Amino acid sequence: MVCALSALLHSLLLFGYGAAVDVDPSSKESLKRAASTIAAELRSSYHGDEPGQIPGLFPYPTYWWLAGAATNAWIDYRNYTGDTTYDEIVTQAIFHQIGPNRDFLPPNQTLAEGNDDQGFWALAAMSAAERNFPDLPAGQPQWLALAQGALHGQMERWDDENCGGGLRWQIFAFNHGYTYKNSISNGIFFQLNARLARYTKNDTYAQWAEKTFQWMRKIQFMDDTLNIYDGGNLPACAFVKNSTILWSYNNAMLLGGAAFMYDYYNKSPVWLEIIKGLLSKAISSFFYQEAIVNEPACEPYNTCNDDQISFKGYLSRNLGYTAQLVPELSARIFSVLRTSAVAAGKACTGGSGTTCGMNWTLGKFDGHSGVGGTIAALETITSCLAKDASLPSAMNTGATSIGDVNAGRTSSSGHKTKIDPATQNDKVAAAALTLGICVSA
């Protein structure tokens, strides 16, 4: 009787919501099926491979960096599920956006591209290298060299003159935000260095990662209890209005990067303590009732933009990496990822049946559709599969992507393209929204 009733309710639910995304997190097949549904949902909003469209871009109002994040989500998805459906569009997208210096600074993005935006694409290239995603043919840029290209340019932009170090948010002086240093730019820089150290075994990268982490602590972007604030204004990197907001993706980048450092240093107890601290902070700050990943700075107020809706996806992604690299924490991590994946499934029932919402605590679609929510759901469901995935590869463990120690070395010069004031304001406003800080464009 009970079974019959629940079967009936189940089918009514399926009927009522069309193609609902049912997630049984204890079943690998169920997780794969759900991930594949959301990966296809993300694909349905992408048109960059169609005639007349630009590869690597989603239609307005989805910004360039979010396309880099989506690419990364497809790459990790492919590795965790074995589904190669998106190989061609992913390769084409990355290849089109590498820019003339092969460092993810395409001239079209100059008016809005910050170190963080560039960083999201570099992270995608890094994932492609670590996950043995098929490289472009010899003679073409390789994933590893592309990640290095972006990172080496960022090293050249490290700024000791202000606040004792760190990257500025913006790359180009004519962009608003050039006088702001922020945690996401520096957090991605930290993580890329940590991953390149582990991949190449070149200690220079590890030293940069250490230096970045120490600087973020010293300047109090990361406080004594491991809260990570958005950023601060030059000259002193002082906090200003809204810049003490805690966003989940900042915790994400530091946590994931720390996990790679832990592995690079052969299970360093020092990094383990940091990881445990960041993990506890992630769960207490960014998981509703310690069970459903969310963005407390904007979700409860219904004020998240599409960029911000995606942030919690990067937390899920990095929790997956951390569970892989620090197995003793995996039970705790998968416990919160699984409850979140179930909640995401229930929220991905809008539109034609698989559109994902923003607030996953409601048990249903909440009306907020967009690429950001789709990425967040894809990352969260996919990351549950990290449990059975192989470790990210490195040069001594089967990695095949070829690097270039000189990649991107001169990237900070030579990109001074003409500014069109009409498009500048729009793009700058868009970029500011990404971080929820107020700049008057």
The residues binding ligand NAG (CB under 6 A) are 54, 79, 82, 96-97, 106, 108, 130-132, 152, 202, 204, 242, 245, 288, 294, 297-300, 303, 359, 361-362, 390, 392-393, 398, 405, 436
| Closer by beta carbon to ligand NAG, 331 or else 362 | 362
Smallest distance from ligand NAG to CB 396, Å: 12
| Closer by beta carbon to ligand NAG, 274 or else 386 | 386
| Closer by beta carbon to ligand NAG, 6 or else 108 | 108
Smallest distance from ligand NAG to CB 242, Å: 4
d(CA 77, CA 84): 9
Smallest distance from ligand NAG to CB 55, Å: 7
Nearest-CA neighbor of 316 among 380, 378, 251?
380
d(CA 325, CA 21): 29
CB atoms within 10 A of CB 40: 14
Smallest distance from ligand NAG to CB 269, Å: 26
| Closer by beta carbon to ligand NAG, 25 or else 106 | 106
| Closer by beta carbon to ligand NAG, 11 or else 242 | 242
Torsion of CA 76, 81, 84, 85, to 10 degrees: -100
What is the full DSSP assignment across 355-401?
Answer: B--S-GGGSS--S--SHHHHHHHHHHHHHGGGGGSPPPP-TTTT---
Q: Kindly tell me the burial class for residue 284, based on how many C-beta atoms sit within 10 Å of its own C-beta (0-12, 13-18, 19 or more).
A: exposed
| Closer by beta carbon to ligand NAG, 67 or else 216 | 67
Q: Are 48 and 95 in contact (CB under 8 A)?
A: no
Helix axis angle, 330-347 relative to 306-325, nearest 10°?
150
Smallest distance from ligand NAG to CB 312, Å: 10
Smallest distance from ligand NAG to CB 5, Å: 28
Q: Which residues pair with 288 in a beta bridge?
A: 292
